[in-house]
């Protein structure tokens, strides 16, 4: 019954005169004032999960990670979906970096940028401790781990370290660490809790990491099996959906059940098709005594052998017999439609492109373009998250070590705060119709809505390197054709055009 202290006057009167009616009145008020989504019923599952995102991730991320890895190993659709995501987030060459150090007046220092790029190219060959991966391969592997497992770790190893040869000019190496080596609270009985130690504000202070993979042994691990890594030397990539969540959860978490159901259904259809292919026909008899097996004089059953072949004629049927054909309705004509519908739902769940995941590229140019534009926003968001958690911190530490090692010469006019500034160039949106895309860029540049360097960056190139290669190619071509002073004339024309552009800008500002 409604609490009398909070009930209005009418409710109190009902409670005093007719208690049963008062109860019905209070129940009706609760029903009318509620959300349908907040009211459970026998026809709708009602979740009462109120635990924090951090608690749920610590409790269940390892189990989800195991299932996601199994799908990656054994399910072609799951493996293909992850590959599509990795290809569009980091691409074949990884996230590109264009240094942007500036002077105190705001101008980009080209010579310093060139020095950083040369050191960066040298470091990209051997970026990690095993020397088994290039920088592009490291990014792809970390991105796949990040998506499939929900998180990944990398330790930054700097300077002189016993038994470690960096192999590059800048003394920096990465140690990639699977999330299994950083235990959750549910995976360890240690009094300290899980593998991430945080301060009162929730910021990581240190990471406790197993010295070897837990899957390499069945014995129970103890505190002595862990090593401690300071937080400033550890990079932690994780996928989170809730505020305060400290461990990542696989991007496949919401679609694992659907993927497993689709895998089982397709397997059932394949088995049914194999069985159907093994069935040919049966002999239908009209009289019960015809079902007796024919025997020879010695009482041995005479086997009846009818070999099927294309275009055969059944000319040895006995009186009263006829051939019945087995129709199994396999393969199922609705399989493709059902599979496409499930793949659309899976693509929506993980944020991937349906056309790429299903390899179904049917549709008009406008439809393909619309899907690509809407999907590319998600890929760009994922690229930005990956860059912020992994690529940018590695670059900043690389630049700091290059300066500390005396490998770069910082000019006096350098604004030190901009030394590690850079443009991080992710994957470019692919062209559906190259001619139309090129014409659109040409019109945008002509009307000053987009600059040439911006177009080059959008295509994954470095403007300075592109122009340098173009100038070098023009000089080589001029020399090969025997044109005198062609390079000098071209440089002069380029300088004149640049001066004209500056004059026009100054006149426009004056106006």
Quick: pLDDT tens for 102-117. Answer: 999 989 898 999 999 9
Q: Does the pLDDT of residue 458 top 50, yes or no?
A: yes
Q: Across all residues in the chain, what is the average pLDDT?
A: 82
Both tokens of residue 421? 């500034």
Q: Does the pLDDT of residue 342 top 80, yes or no?
A: yes
What confidence category does residue 23 fall into, taking pLDDT thresholds of 50, 70 and 90?
confident
Largest Cα–Cα separation, the chain: 120
- What is the mean pLDDT of the segment spanning 324-342? 80
pLDDT at site 33: 62
pLDDT at site 456: 73
The residue that leads in pLDDT, 5 or 401, is 401
pLDDT at site 34: 64
Domain ranges of the chain: 1-48
- What is the mean pLDDT of the segment spanning 124-153? 96
- What is the mean pLDDT of the segment spanning 329-342? 84
Are 170 and 268 a contacting pair, CB within 8 Å?
Answer: no
pLDDT at site 350: 92
SS3 content of the chain, % helix, strand, coil (to 5): 50, 10, 35
Q: Does the pLDDT of residue 30 top 90, yes or no?
A: no
pLDDT at site 167: 92
Q: Does the pLDDT of residue 141 top 50, yes or no?
A: yes
Are 158 and 393 a contacting pair, CB within 8 Å?
Answer: no
pLDDT at site 467: 76
- What is the mean pLDDT of the segment spanning 356-363? 83
**Three-state SS across 252-307?**
CCCCHHHHHHHHHHHHHHHHHHHHHHHCCEEEECCCHHHHCCCECCCCCECCCCCC
- What is the mean pLDDT of the segment spanning 455-468? 72
- What is the mean pLDDT of the segment spanning 448-470? 74
Q: Does the pLDDT of residue 503 top 60, yes or no?
A: no
Quick: pLDDT tens for 158-190. Answer: 999 999 999 999 999 999 999 999 988 766 666
Q: Does the pLDDT of residue 192 top 80, yes or no?
A: no
| Cα(197)–Cα(216) distance, integer angstroms | 25
Kind of pairing, strands 196-198 and 172-177? unpaired
pLDDT at site 190: 61
| Cα(27)–Cα(498) distance, integer angstroms | 79
DSSP-based three-state secondary structure for 392: helix
Q: Does the pLDDT of residue 315 top 80, yes or no?
A: no
Q: Does the pLDDT of residue 438 top 60, yes or no?
A: yes
Quick: pLDDT tens for 246-273. Answer: 899 999 999 999 999 999 998 988 888 8
| Cα(358)–Cα(253) distance, integer angstroms | 19
Q: Which of 198-207, 214-223, 385-394 comes out lowest in average pLDDT?
A: 214-223
What confidence category does residue 31 fall into, taking pLDDT thresholds of 50, 70 and 90?
low
- Cβ burial, residue 437 (10 Å; 0-12/13-18/19+): middle
DSSP-based three-state secondary structure for 164: strand
pLDDT cut 70: percent of the chain above it: 84
Return the H-helix or E-strand segment holding 463. helix 463-481
Are 375 and 348 a contacting pair, CB within 8 Å?
Answer: no
């Amino acid at each position: 019954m409604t609490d009398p202290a909070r009930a209005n006057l009418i409710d109190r009167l009902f409670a005093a005169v007719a208690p049963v009616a008062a109860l019905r009145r209070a129940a009706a008020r609760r029903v009318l004032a509620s959300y349908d989504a907040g009211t459970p019923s026998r026809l709708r599952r009602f979740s009462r999960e109120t635990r924090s995102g951090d608690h749920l991730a610590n409790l269940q991320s390892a189990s989800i990670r195991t299932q996601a890895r199994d799908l990656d190993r054994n399910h072609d659709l799951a493996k293909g979906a992850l590959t599509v995501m990795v290809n569009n987030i980091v691409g074949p060459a990884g996230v590109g970096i264009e240094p942007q150090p500036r002077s105190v007046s705001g101008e980009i220092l080209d010579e310093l940028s060139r020095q950083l790029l040369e050191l960066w190219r040298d470091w990209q060959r051997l970026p990690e401790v095993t020397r088994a991966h290039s920088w592009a391969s490291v990014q792809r592997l970390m991105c796949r781990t990040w998506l499939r497992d929900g998180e990944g770790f990398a330790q930054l190893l700097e300077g002189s370290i016993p038994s470690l040869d960096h192999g590059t000019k800048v003394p920096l190496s990465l140690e990639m660490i699977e999330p299994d080596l950083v235990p959750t609270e549910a995976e360890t009985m240690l009094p300290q809790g899980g593998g991430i130690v945080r301060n009162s504000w929730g910021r990581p202070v240190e990471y406790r990491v197993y010295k070897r993979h837990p899957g390499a042994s069945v014995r129970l691990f103890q505190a002595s099996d862990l090593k401690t890594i300071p937080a400033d030397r550890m990079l932690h990539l994780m996928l989170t959906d809730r505020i305060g969540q400290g461990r990542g959860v696989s991007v496949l978490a919401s679609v694992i059940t659907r993927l497993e159901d689709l895998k089982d259904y397709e397997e059932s259809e394949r088995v049914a098709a194999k069985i159907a292919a093994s069935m040919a026909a049966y002999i239908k008899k009209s009289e019960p005594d015809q079902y007796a097996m024919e025997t020879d004089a010695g009482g041995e059953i005479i086997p009846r052998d009818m070999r099927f072949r294309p275009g055969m004629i059944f000319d040895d049927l006995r009186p009263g017999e006829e051939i019945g054909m087995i129709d199994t309705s396999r393969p199922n004509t609705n399989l493709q439609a059902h599979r496409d519908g499930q793949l659309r739902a899976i693509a929506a769940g993980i944020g991937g492109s349906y056309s790429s995941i299903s390899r179904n590229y049917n549709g008009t140019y406008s439809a393909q373009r619309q899907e690509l534009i809407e999907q590319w926003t998600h890929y760009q968001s994922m690229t930005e998250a990956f860059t912020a958690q992994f690529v940018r911190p590695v670059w900043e530490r690389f630049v700091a070590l290059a300066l500390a090692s005396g490998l770069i010469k910082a000019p006096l006019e350098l604004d030190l705060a901009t030394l590690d500034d850079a443009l991080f160039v992710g994957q470019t949106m692919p062209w559906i119709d190259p001619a139309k895309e090129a014409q659109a860029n040409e019109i945008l540049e002509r009307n000053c809505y987009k600059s040439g360097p911006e177009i080059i960056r959008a295509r994954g190139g470095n403007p300075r390197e592109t122009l340098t290669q173009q100038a070098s190619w023009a000089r080589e071509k001029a020399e090969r054709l025997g044109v005198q002073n062609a390079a000098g004339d071209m440089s002069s024309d380029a300088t004149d055009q640049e001066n004209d552009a500056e004059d026009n800008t100054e006149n426009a500002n004056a106006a």
